[in-house]
Chains A and B, each alone.
Chain A
Amino acid sequence: MSRVDDIITREVLRLELQSIADETAIRFTRSSFSPVIRDYLDFSTALCDARGRMVVQGFSLPLHLGAIPRAMEAVRERFDEGLQPGDLVILNDPYAGGMHLPDVFMIAPAHQDGEIVGYAVVVAHQADIGGRVPGGSAADSREIFEEGLRIPPLLLRQAGQPVPGIETVIRANVRLPDLLWADLAAQRAGCEGGATALADLVRRHGRTRLDEAVEAVLEQGRQGARQEISQWPDGTYSFSDLEDHDGIQPLPVPIVVQVEIDGGRVRFDFTGTAAQVRGSINATLSFTESACYAAVRALCRDDVPVNAGFCETIEVHAPAGTVVNATFPAGVAARGVIGYRIIETVFGALSGALGDRVPACGEGGTSGIRLGGFTKGGIRFQMNDIVCGAWGARPNADGLDGASPMAANVSNRPVELVERDDPVTVLAYGFVPDSGGPGTYRGGLAIRRVLRLDADEAVLNLRTHRTETPPYGLEGGLPGSTAATWLVRDGERSLLAAKTTEVLCGGDVIEHWTASGGGHGDPHDRDPDAVRTDVLDGKVAAESARDLYGVDVTDEPPQRDTVRPGANRS
């Protein structure tokens, strides 16, 4: 083939690989059932080559980036090259390729002429996987054994047929077996469809062409990352931050990172980070890697593809037995907590090198409010509400009011769907006025969500962030406000712990405020018109404008709001 044909074919294959991964994601999510997948899009898809290297991602959660390589390692270790056409692998064990038990992986091999030519991978957060707390993401489990059903790499299907017994075992261990099985069917169809399309691509273009294209795509990720990082100033940058709760008790958990940038490579060293804790906020190494990859990618100026080539330029050192590389049998169900702290700590360190683009700290990640129990009609329900939405201020713009954290990019659940599907009334959903961290650029406002339980009883599992250590500001910007959750029972208002499991009674009200975003730059340098607009819109109180921003707006009309600014928080 001529050179021009080479160039065209390479782009053909790159785009077709991308289309297959996208298509897998879209068909899976559109036919899925659980709100975690269909509304929050808590899943990722990818295609890997015959050696298990991640080549392209379809839709993907940033915090799943490091997951697929580790899952592929476990699969290849267990099955080597022995997977046959029609085989489908399932796994979720954090100590054998997984991340936490609700994240169920499926891996389907693509064959051509009797050889494996690649794999399609779909990982999705399933609504319930058993264990002591409904929803499977409790922070207060002490061992993996409390967290649900562990599935090491196993064949779910062999030669296109279900492997006898597996369905029975899985169904017997989860709370909503029909829902789980329906979602696993959608996941299987998506995954197998991806593998079929990949095999078809190889049939049309030939194995050699595919291999060349794969190398070219990986090189694109490798070169893209190198070029980007080589423009970052060499040096060593350190930062430390705190998680406020170990999952069992409000004990501080330090996260420490030292980032070395050196001629187009970057190394993250977490030496000094807290030992793994008794609660289940510990992260697996794969999750820590995901957080580092996501942070680097977000700071890239160019649209660099994230694949195995990209990941090669990033080295992560996380000592075993710490909260950033937990060892068996530590609980890991709520590892998202540490994942967010890792990204925030890494951003904090890199703000020293890349002050032009690193944002101040946001609300600290998604708050999880999970309610499980039985309706008045005796039907089991499981509500997983996710609350988030405050970005840290940026070096050239305010933090967004009402946007998902970058690392998750989740959606919220419509109030009307929550009320229709679960015995819950949503009493309020909005901003907490006057909460954003002041700065030249203001941090995003905290989000307030108020829920009332309409069933007789339910178990509340709460997982929130930054109740003690506020989100940091940068360059003279002030920190954001901290998060808080109250239980209102019979008119009595009591503050709940950041992470807790409680039994609720009918009529109980849960009021949650997320943390808000930190500010960027000295608040006195903020454009006074922007301060005035914020005051008129009830986003900043007149007193704060005067005291923190030095802008007097007392002659302006009073702002109107339903939540009193600076309301008593305890």
Chain B
Amino acid sequence: MSVRLSADVGGTFTDVVVVAADGRIAARKVPSTPDGFECGVIDGARAALKAGGFTAEQVERVVHGTTAGTNAVLERTGPLVGLITTRGFRDVLEIGRLRTPRIYDLGWRKPAPLVRRRYRLEIEERMRFDGVALVPPWLDAVAGAVDRAVAEGVASFAVSFVNAHANNAHEEQVAAWLRDRHPSVAVTVGSRIVAEIGEFERTSTAVLNAYLLPVISSYLRRLLGALISTGISAPILVMQSNAGMLSLDEAAEVPVRVLESGPAAGVFAAARIAEQVGERHAVGFDMGGTTAKASLIEDYSVERASEFDIGSDISSSSRLLRGGGYTVRLPVVDLAEVGAGGGSIARVDGSGALRVGPDSAGAMPGPACYGRGGTLPTVTDANLVLGYLSIERLSSAGVDIDRGLAESAIAEHVAAPLGLSVGDAALAVHAVADQQMARVLRAVTTERGRELARHSLIVSGGSGGLHAASLAAAVGIDRVVVPPLAGVLSAVGMLWAPVQLDATVTVLAPLTESILIDLDVQLAQLSHGLRRRLEQQVPGPSSVAEVTTLDLRYTGQASELSLPVEAPVAQSVELLESRFHKWHAETYGHAGMGVVEVVRARLAALQKQPPVQISAEHGPPSANTRTVNFGDRDLDAPVLRRGDLRSGRRGPLLIDETDTTIVVPPGWSARITDGDIVLLDLATDNATEDST
């Protein structure tokens, strides 16, 4: 029987899931190995295959997401990189967009550019804004500088010129010359990766790609070799930031596409879960050790943003100010993130208000209860004191848990200054953490004119199940969905995501019929090219689907709204206009401000992977109870497993699993549905029957 293997490499843990064609499943979490991430993948693969009773030879496909790229940027382990750019603009990369991530912060350290100024070489050349070539590249004048840079060790070059989005002939010409002159040097052509207006964003993306190229291609080669020597010789697909998969060869060529693979896969999985349970308006909610993330899932689709920063600090003071990392102008799953997780530290500030995060105890020293020297109370400590977390389960992960340390940390730093009992203080920490996380839920809904309370929560992450129900109740949500394998949901998403190739046509012209007709011609050509590339990604027959999106705005605006459309796009202009007016009014509260402009058309070609059904790892029913605190008094709540919920149960109860605990407070009911998905509902009169 064939099995598929998914490996999601994060900074701390590597999650591996194997699924057989008959639905049997095994999941393992192992420590990541930053000195060679492929080692962790092999450790996890061996453990998961063994746990499921499979052999390496049975693996017919490997899907993979990795933080190796982000890690290389954060740790600065990449090669010396060079940049060739238009004369007069070598400092564009370093100047960036000027803005600092935190207002009033006089101590900010700007991340050093990935290309030193001495290797940012200028060439005499010029394109006009509309693509008319004004000055051809003067290659001879830059040759000496390029040779010197290569002699000094520059191993990878980016070529990025002003107005290359309108005409990239000069970039291609210089790249070809460069490859010819220095065949051993890697070359990234900026406009091939992004063809959108904005010289800094294109250059920054190209430079990141140039920086990652040697790192990621060598990593992927090592991974391939390690898998083969383990007996796994299946094709490998790699997750992109936009939640589509890519062949290993293409990922090695354009590594900047796979930077945010873990979060993308998690959101994609949440969207599929939303579809399985029929939740059209949902918010994906992931809570881990240091951050919580939210993403809007509308009509089972993942929302995408056009740009993100890598290696940035998330404690930015405003969502309008980005984190100050390295800018990537590529589609990415749209996430809001806040520094609140299990490790977030609780404190009482000068005015007597209780604050949680953004400071985190991290993996070392970790929460006070880990007994590794941490003395400050964390959200995990509060959850332990409240009885939500199981000491046995935490201890089984190899940590000695000491509830007394958690209690004394909360007593000293929260209970005493606020004049509360330890139990009440823990409740307050839990509730304030919920409120911090409520901000990201609002960021992806109310900021866009959506009513948060109409959405359901799709939960993932190691701490997600502990907070989901109380968080939902705090913001008026009455349905929470906890998929199986919630603690390794990103690895699951990679098994489900289609292979995806994207192409973009920049239009920047008023919406008219003739523009749309032209667009159809261009999209048809692109479609042909994408389909051909797609066939090379994975062998075997599979149908290809296409999704076309128009990014529209009123002429003069800087932000656009994306409207999915059916191809051919040359349909009724009036209909498109009225759809845009309506969407603009819903999102921003006003509409009809002049001419509608087509910013760009995006085409995605999708090739579905064969379907996989996942299920929970079922163990024997449990008959334990745990003493928990939900506010009024301590009570004994039953500790169950998913299998115990077939006919529905009323809270309070706890569902302990290997990777998470689901807390079902009083007033909520829990039941299990197809695919072992747990549904939590805030009880109303017609709530599920209590079977106890």
Contacts and interface: CB of A to CB of B under 8 A. Distances in A.
B300 interface: no
B118 A414 contact: no
Given A402-B95, A404-B100, A415-B89, A537 B118 contact: yes
Interface residues of A, number: 94
Contact of B593 (A35, A182, A404, A431): A182
Given A4-B427, A14-B353, A178 B98 contact: no
Contacts of B593: 33, 182, 185-186
Interface stretch (B259-267, B384-392, B436-444, B491-499): B436-444
Given A220-B351, A403-B100, A420 B91 contact: no
A557 B149 CA distance: 12
B54 interface: no
Contacts of A38: 557-559
Given A33-B556, A402-B94, A189 B100 contact: no
B612 interface: no
Interface string A161-196: 000000000000000001100100110111011000
Contacts of B107: 357, 394, 396-397
Interface in A38-59: 38-39, 41, 58-59
Contact of B118 (A32, A409, A536): A536
6 contacts: A8-B432, A60-B103, A179-B556, A182-B556, A216-B353, A403-B100
B153 to A, nearest CB: 13
Interface in B427-472: 427-428, 431-432, 435-436, 438-439, 442-443, 446-447, 449
Given A15-B439, A38-B557, A414-B198, A26 B319 contact: yes
Given A30-B588, A60-B103, 16 more contacts: A7-B420, A8-B427, A15-B435, A30-B558, A216-B351, A224-B349, A359-B106, A400-B110, A402-B91, A404-B98, A404-B100, A409-B100, A411-B97, A416-B129, A537-B117, A538-B117
Contacts of A178: 594
B223 interface: no
Given A59-B320, A430-B90, A559 B104 contact: no
A113 to B, nearest CB: 22
Contact of B199 (A10, A415, A447): A415
A7 B428 contact: yes
B517 interface: no
A415 B420 CA distance: 58
A420 B131 CA distance: 11
Contacts of B205: none
B474 to A, nearest CB: 7
Contacts of B541: none
A214 interface: no
Nearest to B449: A27
A23 to B, nearest CB: 5
B579 interface: no
A539 to B, nearest CB: 7
Interface string B79-111: 000000001111110111111100111111110
A359 B106 CA distance: 8
A120 B78 CA distance: 48
Contacts of B98: 388-389, 402-404, 410-412
Nearest to B424: A4
Contact of B108 (A39, A220, A403, A562): A403
Contacts of A537: 116-118
B104 A450 contact: no
Contacts of B200: 414
A23 B447 contact: yes
A294 interface: yes
A428 interface: yes
A158 interface: no
A558 to B, nearest CB: 10
Contacts of A41: 99, 320
B176 interface: no
B587 interface: yes
Q: For A179, A430, A538, which residue has the most chain B Cβ atoms within 10 angstroms?
A: A430
Contacts of A400: 108, 110
Interface in A342-390: 357, 359, 388-389
Nearest to B446: A23
Interface string A1-30: 011100110111011001100110111011
Given A224-B350, A431-B91, A414 B117 contact: no
A297 interface: yes
Contacts of B353: 7, 10-11, 14, 216, 220
A271 interface: no
Contacts of B118: 536-538, 559-560
B122 interface: yes
B106 A11 contact: no
A223 interface: yes
Contacts of B88: 426-430, 450, 562
A538 to B, nearest CB: 6
Contact of A39 (B94, B96, B435, B558): B558
Contact of A409 (B321, B431, B557): B321
Nearest to B418: A7
Interface residues of B, number: 81
A320 to B, nearest CB: 29
A34 B110 CA distance: 28
Contacts, number: 243
A227 interface: yes
A135 interface: no
A154 interface: no
Interface string B155-173: 0000000110100000000
Contacts of A18: 439
A298 interface: yes
A457 interface: no
A431 B589 CA distance: 42
B659 to A, nearest CB: 29
Contact of B589 (A14, A193, A397): A193
Nearest to A359: B106
A31 interface: yes
A18 to B, nearest CB: 8
B597 to A, nearest CB: 11
A478 to B, nearest CB: 20
A501 B349 CA distance: 52
Contacts of B587: 27, 31
B354 interface: yes
A401 interface: yes
A417 B318 contact: no
A62 interface: yes
Nearest to A29: B320
A11 B589 CA distance: 28
Contacts of B104: 62, 294, 297-298, 300, 406
B584 interface: yes
A161 B80 CA distance: 62
Given A32-B557, A450-B88, A357 B351 contact: no
Contacts of A30: 558-559, 588
Contacts of B148: 557
A389 B473 CA distance: 46
B554 A182 contact: yes
Determine which residue in B198, B321, B351 has the highest number of CB atoms from chain A within 10 A of its CB, and name it.
B351
A429 B589 contact: no
Contacts of B201: 414
Contact of B419 (A3, A222, A406, A429): A3
A429 B559 contact: no
A219 interface: yes
A389 B351 contact: no
B197 to A, nearest CB: 5
Given A25-B320, A415-B199, A31 B557 contact: yes
A361 to B, nearest CB: 12
Contacts of A35: 558
A419 interface: yes
A94 to B, nearest CB: 24
